[in-house]
Amino acid sequence: MSEMLPLFPLTTVLFPGMRLPLHVFEERYRQLVRDLLDLPEPRRFGVIAIRKGRETGADGATELYDIGCQAQARQVEPREDGRYDLSVVGTRRFRLLRVDRSLPYLRGVPAPLEDEPPGAARDGATALATRQVQAAFRGYLSALADRGGGVISVNDLPDEPVLLSYIVGAAMIIDLPERQSLLAAPDAVTRLRAERSLLAREIGMLRATTSRPAPDFSHQRYSPN
């Protein structure tokens, strides 16, 4: 990943393994898609959250977070008016080292980030954190169902700690800075422990209120860009 990577700034966070639908209408991002289509598969670009600024408009994003997620375009559907609908999936995290503004859209120099292996001394801590988050997330879903007057069912949660941490991070209803901090965590056990605390807080809030927006458990987010 030492090459320049096209960047798609968004007001959301993409995690590895999670899907993201994009509707592309601004000319600068139409150009990004056209440039991607000129490349052989896999067609990759970077999704990175906006710290300051907006997704759209002349000014756009004025400041980005430094940790993003590489995305692979799995499906690109052009429209007659020049817009595109994209289906992408996150593949791996990266740290943004430098931003290039020479093209209509941003590009960046990325450094790949992998979750640090727990090591023998932390294997037990990782397994414990995995079990705790599985239980807390099920409690969170139950609290949401209770407040919504319905039933929320999910498939079995994975036992693999990194994947679990990404799924839970993508599914919780939390603010962007909190979700970004989960993406930036150095390893799965750190991320899982943070998620356990956030889940405990959210469960408490759900039990203390009468209503709460329903989450999207397909881990998808629709961007207006």
Domain boundaries, the chain: 5-113, 120-208
- What's the half-sphere exposure (Cβ side, CA atoms, 13 Å) at 4? 13
The predicted structure's pLDDT at residue 1 = 47
pLDDT in tens, 176-210: 999 999 999 999 999 999 999 999 999 999 888 75
Q: Provide the mean pLDDT of the chain.
A: 87
Q: Is the confidence at residue 55, as pLDDT, over 90?
A: no
3-state secondary structure 99-136: EECCCCCCEEEEEEECCCCCCHHHHHHHHHHHHHHHHH
Other CB atoms within a 10 A radius of the CB of residue 99 amount to: 13
The predicted structure's pLDDT at residue 3 = 82
Mean pLDDT of 120-146: 86
- Which token pair is 201? 């807080």
Answer whether 83's CB lies under 8 Å from 43's CB. no
Write down the pTM of the prediction. Answer: 0.86
Query: How far is 172 from 182, CA to CA, in rounded Å?
Result: 11
The predicted structure's pLDDT at residue 140 = 93
Mean pLDDT of 131-154: 81
Answer whether 29's CB lies under 8 Å from 105's CB. yes
Mean pLDDT of 165-186: 96
Query: How far is 42 from 114, CA to CA, in rounded Å?
Result: 20
Answer whether 122's CB lies under 8 Å from 136's CB. no
Using alpha carbons, select from 158, 139, 150 the residue that is nearest to residue 203: 139
pLDDT in tens, 60-71: 788 999 999 999
Query: How far is 14 from 109, CA to CA, in rounded Å?
Result: 18
Comparing 94 with 53, the larger pLDDT belongs to: 94
**Which pairing describes strands 107-113 and 44-53: parallel, antiparallel, or unpaired?**
unpaired
Angle ∠(98,102,103) on CA atoms, nearest 5: 110
Q: What is the CATH number of domain 120-208?
A: 1.20.58
Comparing 148 with 164, the larger pLDDT belongs to: 164
Answer whether 45's CB lies under 8 Å from 83's CB. no
Question: pLDDT tier at 58 (50, 70, 90 boundaries)?
Answer: low
Q: What CATH topology corresponds to 5-113?
A: 2.30.130
- Cα end-to-end span (Å), the chain: 25
Q: Is the confidence at residue 107, as pLDDT, over 60?
A: yes
Secondary structure class of 225 (helix, strand, coil) = coil
